[in-house]
Chain A
Amino acid sequence: QKEVEQNSGPLSVPEGAIASLNCTYSDRGSQSFFWYRQYSGKSPELIMFIYSNGDKEDGRFTAQLNKASQYVSLLIRDSQPSDSATYLCALNTGRRALTFGSGTRLQVQP
């Protein structure tokens, strides 16, 4: 079992819709959770982090964490074509480096 599981996609949503990206993880000791965005041919950049169960909102982005069910999700409201990218879930299992999932490719159709 992979430490971090993501559906590779592509997830295709129309412009203006809500995009929902999901991630499950295996290590119950995971302490903190991150969403990185990676445009094609570019390096990843941090967009959200969450430590506590529940929701965390930042503009059009909402991260949701459920430690009991071992999943973390990212909602993107009012999706724009510029949101088209690969979204990488990452977590800190107590090691000194982040463990990344393989990413979900999001396509926002104009």
Chain B
Amino acid sequence: GAGVSQSPSNKVTEKGKDVELRCDPISGHTALYWYRQRLGQGLEFLIYFQGNSAPDKSGLPSDRFSAERTGESVSTLTIQRTQQEDSAVYLCASSLGRGVANTGELFFGEGSRLTVL
């Protein structure tokens, strides 16, 4: 597709369950980012991929969070044993080049809204 695609768009789960969120970046974009946005808040950095490796995973809030990327394309963010505080919109973005491209243009997907009951 032309843009960054994320699925599911909405996910409601029970506390303690595991969830997987998927991101399909723009074709050819080597850098991929996951951010979290709680209601009324700014974007909280989670993890950055360059190709299939993650040189910066400093934003992952706990060991319940993990992410992988394969084929320098699709990425999956997994949250194990979900808690209510995990409720947020999880945004994926991609960009050309290494790290943040000179223009700083991150192309965002529409996000996955996670609600933990």
Contacts and interface: CB of A to CB of B under 8 A. Distances in A.
Interface stretch (A12-20, A69-77, A90-98): A90-98
B42 A102 contact: yes
Interface string A2-38: 0010101000000000000000000000001010000
Contact of B103 (A4, A46, A96, A101): A46
A100 interface: yes
Q: Give the contact-size bracket for chain A.
A: 20 to 34
Q: Give the contact-size bracket for chain B.
A: 20 to 34
Given A43-B91, A88-B43, A96 B100 contact: yes
B48 A44 contact: no
A1 to B, nearest CB: 15
A62 interface: no
Interface string A75-110: 000000000000010101001111111110000000
B68 interface: no
Contacts, number: 62
B110 A43 contact: yes
B108 A44 contact: yes
A103 to B, nearest CB: 5
A42 B56 contact: no
A11 B113 CA distance: 27
B109 interface: yes
Contacts of A92: 100, 104
Contacts of A55: none
10 contacts: A43-B109, A43-B111, A45-B108, A46-B103, A88-B43, A97-B99, A98-B100, A100-B43, A100-B44, A102-B42
Interface of A: 4, 6, 8, 32, 34, 42-46, 49, 88, 90, 92, 95-103
Interface of B: 31, 33, 35, 40-45, 48, 50, 55-56, 59, 91, 98-100, 102-106, 108-111
